[in-house]
Amino acid sequence: MRLPRRLLVLWLQNLMHRIFGNLCPSENKPHEVVEHDMGDYWFQQDGATCHRARLTMDLLRTTFPNRLISKYDNFDWPAHSPDLTAPDFFLWGYLKGKVYADKPATLQQLKVNIPREIAAIQPETFQKAMENAEKRADLCEASGGGHLADVIFKVTK
């Protein structure tokens, strides 16, 4: 399977807003995302049950016609495929390390740490992560869609 060149993950609105602007619908305005030109973007959906609600799927199918990678649409993400999106190969691990650095003991401390650490990520870090995502896609394509053996790209200083 040839992977799309541009994958966009639309969650973490506060995080991605710093780079792309408001691409995610708010709770009160679920139509907001449709106002942006998404013609070149693909949406990769994970398998979490909460992300597969009928209203969510309807919005995604409308916004990303024939460009939705989901178990519940035209393109299913291949089982055991390599993580090629920046949130998968970089962001979640990076944030976890930062959020838990001071060993939060309560949910309230965690709720303070998460937005603080998201806000502290510099736009240059996101840019490097996205450049690395393209390199990873090229390497994956060159390997016939296989896993990337010990590939590590530097995205922080």
Average pLDDT over the chain reads 69
Q: How many domains does the chain have?
A: 2
pTM greater than the 0.85 cutoff:
no
Residue 114 belongs to a domain: yes
Residue 39 belongs to a domain: yes
Residues in the chain, total? 157
The token pair that represents 103 in the structure block: 């060993």
Residue 18 belongs to a domain: yes
64 sits in which H/E element: none
On whether both 57 and 91 belong to a single domain, the answer is: no
Residue 15 belongs to a domain: yes
Residue 151 belongs to a domain: no
Strand order in the sheet with 42-44: 7-8, 42-44, 68-69
pLDDT in tens, 1-54: 333 333 333 334 433 444 444 444 455 454 454 455 667 777 777 666 767 788
pLDDT in tens, 85-102: 777 777 888 888 999 999
pLDDT in tens, 103-120: 988 888 988 888 888 888
Structural domain boundaries, residue 130: 86-142
Q: DSSP code of 72?
A: T
On whether both 42 and 14 belong to a single domain, the answer is: yes
